[in-house]
Structure 1
Amino acid sequence: MNANPGAFVKVISNEDNEMRGLFYQDARMRKTFEAYPEFVCIDATYKVNDLRMPLHIMLVTNGNGQSEIVALWLVTDETEGMITQMVPLFQEYNPAWANVKTVMSDKDFVER
């Protein structure tokens, strides 16, 4: 993933150096977010990968009303602590975050 020019990859690990989360965003995702930052939707797929870890997908809606993926996170759990580590990574890599007007997620976002 780091071989992809312009990609941001960040691994979050615990004190035992075990992976707890993985953040990924490529240059195309970042450009899409820069163009359409007003409305961000966050949702997850559950246990559909070999690691059985939730995959969070951050989406925006483009000018044609179509969803575009702007970031991906793979996490070992959905605790508030884990989520609060991922969101600041997105903010750090995306200065257009200041233009976000609405963030929508599942009502049970950190309760699973």
Structure 2
Amino acid sequence: MIPQSILPIVLLTLSNVFMTFAWYGHLKFTNKPLWLVIIVSWGIAFFEYCLAVPANRYGSAVYSPAELKTMQEVITLTVFAIFSVAYLGETLTINHAVGFALIAFGAFFVFKAPL
């Protein structure tokens, strides 16, 4: 099967794909009523929770809560960056790259052994 240290990463990545579509996918459908996109987003978010909760449950055997949360945030930014370019047609700028790099630098310290 999938190693216990990798399983939460896979599940968090999949859950973030669902959540990114739930939160931002409707931006391509601004002609639809808000109530409708909220209901559709809730439906999509259900599947996100079905992946995120087990990711954190299984991940807690290997990672601390702070490491899991940091991992989730880095995965979220990565998934969102790909989504915004591929689905929304946005352009990533140098400002985005610098901001993401600083977040990755912070994540490094969460996973680094005590200084």
TM-score range, shorter chain: 0.3 to 0.5
- TM-score if structure 2 supplies the norm length? 0.33
Indicate the structure with greater strand content. 1
- TM-score if structure 1 supplies the norm length? 0.33
Indicate the structure with greater helix content. 2
